[in-house]
């Protein structure tokens, strides 16, 4: 059952409550992009979008890439260390295009939880 189907089963008062709750709890796309820009290397934007596992992977990759880049920079006198920063930089740039969809998905999931809670209250 989709969110639209769930909404059709609610009366006007319940819809108003659901919309009010969603407005209070929904994630902000603007805040997600601020987190992506300033704290993206740590995966903060992914934590915010509810993608905890990929946020931790992002953080782990960042740490490993920086360590390898530092070691190789020292060994090669600054010539090749930057190569190890490419994977995380590419993922960070790709996330700029994916982030809006991730936030939208998080908000749809949040809306579904709210609608199901209201339906459960109605049933009891």
- ∠ Cα 9 11 15 (to 5°): 90
- The answer to whether the beta carbons of residues 31 and 103 sit under 8 Å apart is no
- The answer to whether the beta carbons of residues 31 and 80 sit under 8 Å apart is no
Higher pLDDT: 107 or 6? It is 107
32, pLDDT greater than 80 = yes
Residue-wise pLDDT for 56-93, tens only, equals 999 999 999 999 999 999 998 887 888 999 999 999 99
Residue-wise pLDDT for 100-113, tens only, equals 999 999 999 999 99
The dihedral region occupied by 10, where left means phi > 0, alpha psi between -120 and 50, and beta the remainder, is beta
What is the pTM assigned to this prediction? 0.89
User: What one-character DSSP code corresponds to residue 85?
Assistant: G
| Number of other residues whose CB lies within 10 A of the CB of residue 95 | 21
Residue 74 CA, chain-centre distance (Å), reads 35
């Amino acid at each position: 059952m989709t969110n639209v189907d769930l909404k059709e089963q609610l009366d006007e008062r319940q819809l108003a409550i659901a919309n009010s709750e969603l407005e209070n709890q929904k994630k902000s796309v603007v805040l997600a992009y601020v987190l992506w820009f300033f704290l993206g290397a740590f995966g903060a934007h992914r934590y915010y979008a509810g993608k905890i596992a990929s946020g931790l992977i992002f953080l782990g990759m960042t740490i490993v890439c920086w360590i390898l880049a530092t070691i190789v920079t020292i060994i090669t006198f600054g010539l090749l260390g930057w190569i190890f920063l490419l994977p995380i930089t590419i993922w960070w740039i790709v996330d700029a295009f994916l982030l809006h969809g991730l936030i939208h998905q998080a908000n749809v999931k949040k809306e579904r939880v709210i609608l199901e809670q209201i339906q459960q209250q109605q049933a009891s």
